[in-house]
Amino acid sequence: MKFKKKTATLVSFTVGTLLLATTALADITSKSGYEELKDSIKLTAEQTSEKYDSFTLDFSMALKDNGKTIMNNNEIGKFDRKKSASESISTGLSLNGDKSSSQSYSDKTTVIHTSAGDQTYYITEYTKERKEEIFSNPFKEEEAEDLEKIADALVGSLKDHVVVAENSDGSKTLTGSLTEVQIPSLINAVASFQLKQEFNGNGNQGSSMPHLTKDVFVKEVTGSAKVNPDGVMESILGTAILSGKDEQGTVHEISIEALIKVKDINSTEVSKPNLEGKKVIKNVAKDYSDSEISNPEKFIGKFKNDIVIEKDGKFVKVGERTLDITKMDNKNVAGRYSETFKQGFENYASDFSELTFAAQIEKDQRGNADFESTTKSGEKVRGNIYFSEYDGKVNFNIHNMNSPYAGGLMFDASFSPDLD
Amino acid sequence: MAVFQAALLNEIEKLYRKKKVLVAILLSLAVIVIGQLVIVGVRSGFGLRGTGSVEFPMLVLSVVVNTILPLFTALVTIDSFSGEFSQNSMRITLTRPISRFKIYTAKITSIVLFILGALLLLLVFSMLAGFIFNANSASFDSLGRTVFSYLVSILPMTVLALGIVLLANIFRSGIAVFFISILIFLAFKVLGLLFSQYSSLFLTTQLDWYNLFLVNSFPLAKIARQFLIMLGSGIMLFSAGFYIFDKKEF
């Protein structure tokens, strides 16, 4: 009897362990719909950024309030990896009811942009060939793996809501839907609060967006995706419905729909727009990322601004400051600084009103230089000069002149070229 | 059978006399009250709906099943085993004309009944609170799913209790068992998050298995696997616990 009990205990222990081990193994190896979805997204990103020569990405979204469209946006992006060219056409209706559409084209040396409101073609030409990847794989970024882990943890038990159906041609359809009972309350609360803030945010005043104030919650989230036999995603559609009441107590159901399609793989043609007979504005792009100014001689000459004081509640011009750059290359700069006062204001002139300076441009700091000089009375002056190629101005500062300046003078550090 | 019934009645009586059960009931009700207050606060403060009438019981379940329910299951289980070992009242129980297997089973059955009672209590009161204080969002389907979710939660809780029974039979001191249980519980939770692919190995993941019954498509394969994992580990823990209990000298 004793022996029998021991055997029975051992047998049941073994059976339990085996049962646990086998099913756990089966569970680990079985791929959930969520995993398949993830794999397919990753594969799609990889193929489009590294393998396919060309493809078209069609993205559209719509925002509806109780079934009435209040905003939509459609963007068709054509990418040609071989030529490094891309084309995008976007059309949309904004929340304010404005319709918009624009078109742009970009390759290694040109960017062309035009929009429906303004039929002009703006062309930017690059003197150097740009090295830009037209489409980079977001999963290759450093933090992608960590983000994926966090996403997995957040999705948690919702993973099982993705259902995979295999079609006869080898393609797969993934679907998933969540209603309010299935969405964990915390996630629902955080998501609806976020969306509510976003929708009621500044800039949406006076738009067709209803102002939700009460009982906001995520009512439903659905999604479906189509994966081709190679495992690449052809289309993915997502819909979310947010329900809430406005101040009058009217119930609004705002639905957000987004659809992304990948199509014309290896058969997309990106073509440069035909500019014949069109109004064109051309501009050569400057490369501001260089460490040196491309043609520094353009800064040789006079730069000016006004000296102003406040008098009887008005601004009055009392004189001018002049900066005369006599020498400028990418190593050295020299010039004169002077203040000239109008009649009746001559006594504003100080020791600093007449200076000559010479300085060396700091290495790798595009037109930035510190200088030292001495005034007529022998006082040392320190200052800084900066040539701004971007807005065609010169910034000139004397450190010894503490603001507010003596006598209520208002100085401007930025000098404009004197071209008259 | 009559012997087993007597033993079970005896165990339930012992359980019922403990203050812990009363505390468990009060805490469960407190969770419902606090939860409802938070929801009302969120509703008036942030303009969010928070939960509807059916979502509220689900919110309560998701909180309770990972916190106070395992905690009180551990306390009751430890009391039933370690407590009696140390008070030597186990000797009195064993002197009765009843096999050790029946005592062991009766003890576990009484613990399962405690879990079931706690779940039913939570279900009834959270539903009441849900319907009184929240906008009605119930449909026959969602109501059924809610009740079902509460009922299926008894399975993982039972496995948890069996695990604690095993620990209580290995270690003599009740306090040691309690802390070891909590540590293992937390470790499993963390591991389940870190290695989400292997999460079904850690028995704490199954505490949330009621979510599977909420899925529209009813993932039968997944439910079956989870059920078998729990069944397997349940049998394993039960027999291991009994083996030690049977060998123990008092």
User: What is the 3 state secondary structure string of A222-266?
Assistant: EEEEEECCCCCEEEEEEEEEEEEEECCCCEEEEEEEEEEEEECCC
Residues 6+ apart with CB under 8 A from A401: A352, A411
- Quote the crossing angle between the two packed helices B100-133 and B220-247, to the nearest 10°: 140
Q: How far is CA A55 from the centre of its chain?
A: 23
Q: Which residue of A has its CA nearest to B49?
A: A215
Q: How far apart are CA B118 and CA B24, in angstroms?
A: 8
From B54, B197, B208, residue closest to A157, measured CB to CB: B208
From A19, A30, A185, residue closest to B228, measured CB to CB: A19
At A404 the pLDDT is: 58
B38 reaches A (C-beta below 8 A): no
What's the gap in Å between the CA of A406 and the closest CA on chain B? 54
For residues A127 and A287, the answer to whether their CB atoms sit within 8 Å is yes
Q: How far apart are CA A163 and CA A36, in angstroms?
A: 10
From A26, A179, A214, residue closest to B47, measured CB to CB: A214
Contact between chains at A189 and B242 (C-beta distance less than 8 A): no
- Tally of domains in chain B: 1
What's the gap in Å between the CA of A129 and the closest CA on chain B? 46
A-chain CB neighbours of B240 within 8 Å are 13
Q: Which residue of A has its CA nearest to B214?
A: A182
Contact between chains at B216 and A161 (C-beta distance less than 8 A): yes
From A181, A192, A217, residue closest to B58, measured CB to CB: A181
Residue range of the domain that includes B73: 2-247
Whether ipTM tops 0.95, in short, is: no
pLDDT digits (tens, 9 = 90+) for A15-35: 999 998 898 888 888 878 888
Q: How far apart are CA A367 and CA A330, in angstroms?
A: 7
B148 reaches A (C-beta below 8 A): no
At A158 the pLDDT is: 77
Evaluate if pTM is beyond 0.80: no
Report the candidate in B91, B74, B69, B79 with the shortest Cα–Cα distance to residue B18: B79
Q: How far apart are CA A144 and CA A41, in angstroms?
A: 13
At A134 the pLDDT is: 63
Structure tokens at B20: 């812990």
At A165 the pLDDT is: 85
pLDDT digits (tens, 9 = 90+) for A179-193: 877 787 778 888 888
- Over range A222-244, report the average pLDDT: 89
- Quickly list DSSP for B171-219: -S-HHHHHHHHHHHHHHHHHHHHHTGGGGGGSTTGGGGGGGGGG-TT--
Residue A130 in this model has a pLDDT that exceeds 80:
no
Contact between chains at B233 and A23 (C-beta distance less than 8 A): no
Residues linked to residue A256 through DSSP beta bridges, in sequence order: A63, A240
B49 reaches A (C-beta below 8 A): yes
Instruction: Say whether B123 sits in a helix, a strand or coil.
Output: helix
- Over range A63-91, report the average pLDDT: 87
Dihedral (CA of A338, A341, A346, A349) sign: negative
- Cβ-in-10-Å burial (0-12, 13-18, 19+) of A126 comes to middle
Contact between chains at A196 and B48 (C-beta distance less than 8 A): yes
Contact between chains at A161 and B215 (C-beta distance less than 8 A): yes
Q: How far apart are CA A86 and CA A55, in angstroms?
A: 10
Residue A53 in this model has a pLDDT that exceeds 90:
no
- Over range A273-297, report the average pLDDT: 75
At A206 the pLDDT is: 61
Q: Which domains does chain A have, with CATH numbers?
A: 33-263 (no CATH), 296-417 (2.40.128)
Contact between chains at A32 and B222 (C-beta distance less than 8 A): yes
Residues linked to residue A386 through DSSP beta bridges, in sequence order: A368, A395
B34 reaches A (C-beta below 8 A): no
Tell me which of B143, B205, B216 to substitute to probe the interface with A (most A C-beta atoms closer than 10 Å): B216
A212-227, strands of its sheet edge to edge: A162-166, A172-179, A212-227, A233-246, A251-263, A54-65, A68-80, A85-93, A99-106, A110-115, A118-126, A280-285
Contact between chains at A181 and B225 (C-beta distance less than 8 A): no
B62 reaches A (C-beta below 8 A): yes
From B137, B221, B228, residue closest to A180, measured CB to CB: B137
Mean pLDDT score of chain A, rounded to an integer? 83
What's the gap in Å between the CA of B19 and the closest CA on chain A? 33
Which residues numbered 228-247 in B keep a CB inside 8 Å of some CB on A?
228-229, 231-240, 242-243, 246
A-chain CB neighbours of B169 within 8 Å are none
- Quickly list DSSP for B28-69: HHHHHHHHHHHHHHHHHHH-B----TTHHHHHHHHHHTTTHH
* A13 to A10, B112, B166, B235: CA distances (angstroms): 5, 20, 13, 6
From B47, B198, B243, residue closest to A213, measured CB to CB: B47
pLDDT along chain B (250 residues), means of 10: 84 83 86 87 78 81 88 89 83 83 91 92 89 75 86 93 92 89 91 78 83 81 89 93 86
Residues 6+ apart with CB under 8 A from A204: A95
Contact between chains at A182 and B50 (C-beta distance less than 8 A): no
For residues A238 and A255, the answer to whether their CB atoms sit within 8 Å is no
Tell me which of B239, B242, B244 to substitute to probe the interface with A (most A C-beta atoms closer than 10 Å): B239
**Kindly report the CA angle at A155 between A225 and A237, in degrees rounded to 5?**
20
Contact between chains at B235 and A177 (C-beta distance less than 8 A): no
Residue found under tokens 């659905």: A222
B222 reaches A (C-beta below 8 A): yes
What's the gap in Å between the CA of B131 and the closest CA on chain A? 14
Q: How far is CA B61 from the centre of its chain?
A: 11
- Over range A38-45, report the average pLDDT: 88
From B52, B197, B232, residue closest to A23, measured CB to CB: B232
Q: How far apart are CA A323 and CA A359, in angstroms?
A: 14
